[in-house]
Chains A and B, each alone.
Chain A
Amino acid sequence: MAVAEARAAPAAPSLPVAPRRGAWSAFARHLLRDPYALAGISIYVVFLVVGLTAEWLAPYDPMEILFTPEGGLAASLPPGSDHWLGTTNLGRDIFSQLVMGTRPSLIVGLSAAVAVASIGTVVGLLAGYFGGWADQLLMRLTDIVLGLPFLPFVIVVTALLGPDLHNIVLAVAIMLWPNAARVIRSQVLTLSQRQFVEAARVTGAGEWRILFVHVAPSVLPFSALYGAFAVGWAILTQASIAFLGFGDSSAISWGTMLQDAYASQALDRGQFFWFMPAGLCIVLVVLAGFLVSRGYEDLLFPKLRDDK
């Protein structure tokens, strides 16, 4: 049976094009077309500007204890023209704290993104390209990290190494790099089979050259995606650590502001102007990362797009 097929020679199935450098322009186009992504980028830009110009924007020193013209402590003032968001129970200007608190969040978010993306990319590239024991090691490390509780681990690391921001970044990076490495590894596995890699091999390019010149550029969009994921996680984690009191209490951050409000019975007194703005700022920055990466994720993992 099945002798004659009433079919012309079947066309070769078109393979999805490797996300090489073209992926970056696709990324740019996606950002401009997707309203969510555009909103996310706008939020980032606003907070970056605020963070960079915080000294000029903040009307007061965020730690300074302020007094009223009559000489009394300017404590627990409601929002007004002098203090846009009111003052804390110790007479500190909440708006100034909010503006200055942008910095630690952005620093933590961005450094965690860079750390996760770079560790994940290098390990993923090596494990995927060379396979063997490097690959095995990556897989086992991933399993182990999956067995460590995220927040408790960060708490213990900061408690033991000290409450500096870079220790929080370190702990977050330890917990998040394996995800990135695993995805990049599987990308490298499929890429190594592709024609342009074969072609490079035929022309006699060395293994390292193939890896970093031909394969690496194609996985960078994935590194960027996992970096973007890390931004949100790191900011949330830093805020949680600060709230729990394991952060650097001398540095103003949104987390310490919320901890201060909580410990000073702001909830009890219904001082929403104290604890709402900092929380909303965290929501906005983390949400911005989600909005940017969400559509981009669809772009990189197109299995869910219904263009059938």
Chain B
Amino acid sequence: MTELLAVRDLAVAYANGTVHAVDGANLTLRRGGMLGLVGESGCGKTTLARALMGVLPGGARITRGEARLDGTDLVALAPAERRARLWRDLAFVPQTAMSALDPVYRLRDQMREVLCDRGGLSRAEADMRAAELFEAVGLHPRRLADYPHQFSGGMRQRAAIALALALRPKLVIADEPVTALDVIVQRQVLDTFRSLSAELGLSAIIVTHDISVVAYLCDQVAVMYAGRVVEHGPTDAVLEQPSHPYTMGLMNAFPDLESDEAVLAPIEGSPPPLSDPPPGCRFAPRCPFAEAICTREVPPPVTLAPDHWSACHRAPEAAALRQRARDPLTWRDVAEAAA
């Protein structure tokens, strides 16, 4: 396995340093892989994505950990060196391209900016490359002459993807790339990603709260909960045989497409406040299988299969727990116990 990105114990703190939006996240991505980074809103997935890009909102900063891209630790780089790598090594696809594209410039100018300023191409070369890129994402090169607001939502998103691919980055990070789109357009944009993956061997992290996007697009998935990655593995394995109780709960909330029985048991309770997270496993207060150790010690990743790990003290019993997790009553009991 050739590892492209390895994130180890990454933590991001906000202003006063006491609130950690990301607190010890681990992540790996192989070259040519598509990794889905999935979790509820507020679990820190967007912060993690922006931390990898090195552009955090004012006051936020990385407090520990490393993020190795092709062996180079991005966190340790000097700001100037880091900036030099941006967009050339790793590029970003935003959630809403409408606000992420500068409204006063035509797409051609926005392409030129990246290709000439950062890629060192001449104008003519840049225009040719821009046309290629537009074709690659299924847009007519003629549309380069348009302003962002003249595009439909799906086309704008594809233009943003083309822009991200401009300098042939090693890694593309897409933050909820289809959330703002309607269902049919979502499919088209996801297909664009798929073909880019197949044809160009694109490596990407897709940040999403939508498990169906992961199932459709990604070969790997990392499940985040309260600032940490709790389970990480091949998409099939994680979705079909979840090994962390949180993932099991998520899958319960997700109607099983193959069987007729619709369980639909949402996880009771809500994620812990990031300003005051519980010690030990952060999911323990909502977990039906929590034991004494879970509230004391942070569970280390337990490898279940090559590429597949779960940060759960009871990971070795995953198969048995999975059976019990299917029963909605299991979850209700926790809620009653908590109440």
Tell me whether A and B are bound partners: yes
Name A residues whose Cβ lies closer than 8 Å to a Cβ of B: 1-10, 306, 308
Closest to A9 in B: B266
Known: A2-B186, A4-B253. 17 other contacts (CB 8 A): A1-B190, A1-B210, A2-B212, A3-B212, A3-B254, A3-B255, A5-B210, A6-B40, A6-B211, A6-B254, A7-B40, A7-B41, A7-B209, A8-B40, A8-B270, A8-B271, A308-B57
Complex interface bits, B242-280 against A, C-beta within 8 A gives 1, otherwise 0: 000000001001110000000000110011000000000
Is the CB–CB distance between B41 and A10 below 8 Å? Answer: yes
A selection of 8 A-B contacts at a CB cut-off of 8 Å is A1-B183, A1-B190, A2-B183, A4-B211, A4-B253, A6-B209, A6-B210, A8-B267
Q: Which 10 A-B pairs have the closest CB atoms?
A: A4-B254, A7-B40, A1-B183, A1-B186, A6-B250, A6-B209, A4-B211, A7-B209, A3-B212, A1-B212
Judge if B216 is at the interface, Cβ distance under 8 Å: yes
Report the Cα distance A1→B191, complex, angstroms.
Answer: 13
Asked if B306 lies at the interface with its beta carbon under 8 angstroms from chain A, I say no
Bound Cα distance A4, B264 (Å): 10
Q: Which of B169-214 contact A (CB under 8 A)?
A: 178, 183, 186-187, 190, 209-213
B94 proximal to A (CB < 8 A)? no
Contact: A1 with B253, CB < 8 Å? no
Taking CB atoms, residues of chain B closer than 8 Å to A3 are 212, 254-255
Q: In the complex, which residues of chain A have a beta carbon less than 8 angstroms from the beta carbon of B270?
A: 8
Residue B58 at the A interface, CB < 8 A?
yes
- B315 interface contact, C-beta 8 A: no
In the complex, the answer to whether B213 meets A1 with C-beta atoms within 8 Å is yes
Nearest A residue to B266 by beta-carbon distance?
A: A8
CA distance A306 to B59 in the complex (A): 12
Interface-centre pick from B183, B187, B210 (highest chain A CB count, 10 A): B210
B38 cross-chain contacts in A, Cβ below 8 A: 6
Q: What residues of chain A lie closer than 8 Å to B186, measured between beta carbons?
A: 1-2
Complex contacts, A4 vs chain B, CB 8 Å? 210-212, 253-255
- Measured between beta carbons, the chain A residues less than 8 angstroms from B148 are none
Q: Which residues of A contact B216 (CB under 8 A)?
A: 1
Query: Nearest A residue to B186 by beta-carbon distance?
Result: A1
B58 touching A1, Cβ below 8 Å: no
Most buried by B among A1, A10, A308: A1
Nearest-neighbor residue (CB-CB) of B38 within chain A: A6
Tell me the minimal C-beta distance from B177 to chain A in angstroms.
Answer: 13
Smallest beta-carbon distance A189→chain B, Å = 26
**B153 an interface residue at 8 Å Cβ cutoff?**
no
* Interface presence of B39 (CB below 8 A): yes
User: Do B209 and A5 touch across chains, with their CB atoms under 8 A apart?
Assistant: yes
Chain B, 130-169, contact with A by CB distance < 8 Å: what is the 0/1 string? 0000000000000000000000000000000000000000
A residues less than 8 Å from B211 (CB atoms): 4, 6
For B223, the closest partner residue in chain A by CB is A6
Of the candidates B39, B210, B266, B271, which one forms a contact with A2 in the assembled complex, judged by CB atoms under 8 Å apart? B210
Residues in B whose Cβ lies below 8 Å from that of A2: 183, 186, 210, 212
- CB contacts under 8 Å to A, within B2-31, are none
Considering the chains assembled together, what is the distance between the CA atoms of A9 and B253 in angstroms? 12
CA gap between A181 and B190 in the complex, in Å: 50
Which has the most chain A C-beta neighbours within 10 Å: B41, B178, B213, B216?
A: B41
Kindly state the separation between the CA atoms of A2 and B178 in the bound complex, as whole angstroms.
10
Which A-chain residue is minimally distant from B271 (CB atoms)? A8
What is the distance, in angstroms, from A181's C-beta to the closest C-beta of chain B?
32
Distance of A1 Cα from B38 Cα, bound (Å):
16
Cα of A4 to Cα of B38 in the assembled complex, Å = 12
- In angstroms, Cα B271 to Cα A1, docked, is 25
What chain B residues lie within 8 Å of A7 (beta carbons)?
40-41, 209
Cα–Cα, bound, A41→B322 (Å):
68
Q: How far is the CB of B138 from chain A (nearest CB, A)?
A: 18
A167 to chain B, nearest CB (A): 47
Contact mask for chain B residues 287-314; partner A; CB cutoff 8 A; 1 contact, 0 none: 0000000000000000000000000000
Q: Mark B209-231, 1 if CB is under 8 A from A, else 0.
A: 11111001000000000000000
**Chain A residue, CB-CB nearest to B185:** A1
Contact status B39-A6, CB under 8 Å: yes
Residues of A within 8 A of B57 (CB): 308
Complex Cα–Cα for A7 and B38 (A): 10
Q: How far apart are the CA atoms of A2 and B216 in the complex, in Å?
A: 11
Complex Cα–Cα for A139 and B187 (A): 47
CB neighbours of A5 from chain B (8 A) = 209-210
